[in-house]
């Protein structure tokens, strides 16, 4: 009975996440303040979570495959990051994500959570998607912070 309750709660939280992604899809053009410290904090937490997740699952991918998938994510995130507009405005330095990034990020995260909840275990594909998504996010957000830093230098 407890397991069924936890699955229901998990699906409800997944539904909330999906609604959040829909909201992001409706507002993806809206500029947001660039907050480098919070971006970096989020990325450090995500990377640490991936490392712990990989260790707990005993890395069924193997180190080389894990690194190749992560590198593919970093490469994709670098190109996504180059499409994010970071500009100076009267309110401060602002950015807006691109529609392909929001769709990719939302779909990958939804899939990893849905597969884990549905199967009750962590399939290898979930680890693969998690590694790819973390690489995408790290490089994309790293590019945003880099653009922010360059813009601040130019404005000063």
Q: What's the confidence (pLDDT) of residue 153?
A: 92
Q: Where are the domains of the chain?
A: 2-155
CB 73 within 8 A of CB 131: yes
d(CA 138, CA 142): 6
Per-residue pLDDT of 100-155, as tens digits, reads 889 998 998 899 889 989 988 778 988 999 999 999 999 999 999 999 999 999 88
Q: What's the confidence (pLDDT) of residue 129?
A: 92
DSSP code for 86? E
**Residue 114 has which token pair?**
């849905």
Q: What is the pTM for the complete model shown?
A: 0.86
Q: What's the confidence (pLDDT) of residue 33?
A: 93
Question: Cα torsion at 88, 91, 93, 98 (round to 10°)?
Answer: -90
Find where tokens 């996440």 sit.
17
Per-residue pLDDT of 11-70, as tens digits, reads 999 999 999 999 999 998 889 999 999 999 999 999 999 999 899 888 999 999 999 999
Per-residue pLDDT of 70-86, as tens digits, reads 999 999 999 999 999 89
User: Is a pLDDT exceeding 80 seen at residue 156?
Assistant: no
Q: What's the confidence (pLDDT) of residue 74?
A: 97
């Amino acid at each position: 009975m407890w397991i069924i309750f936890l699955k229901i709660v998990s699906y409800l939280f997944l539904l909330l996440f999906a609604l959040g992604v829909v909201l992001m899809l409706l507002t993806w053009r809206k500029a947001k303040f660039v907050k480098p410290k919070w971006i970096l904090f989020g990325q450090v937490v995500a990377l640490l979570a991936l490392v712990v997740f990989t260790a707990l699952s005993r890395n069924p991918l193997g180190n080389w495959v894990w690194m190749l998938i992560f590198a593919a994510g970093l490469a994709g995130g670098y190109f996504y990051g180059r499409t994010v507009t970071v500009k100076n405005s009267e309110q401060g330095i602002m950015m807006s994500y691109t529609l392909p990034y929001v769709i990719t990020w939302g779909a990958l995260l939804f899939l990893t959570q849905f597969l884990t909840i549905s199967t009750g275990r962590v399939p290898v594909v979930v680890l693969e998607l998690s590694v790819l998504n973390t690489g995408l996010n790290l490089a994309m957000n790293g590019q945003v912070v880099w653009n922010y830093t360059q813009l601040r230098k130019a404005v000063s």
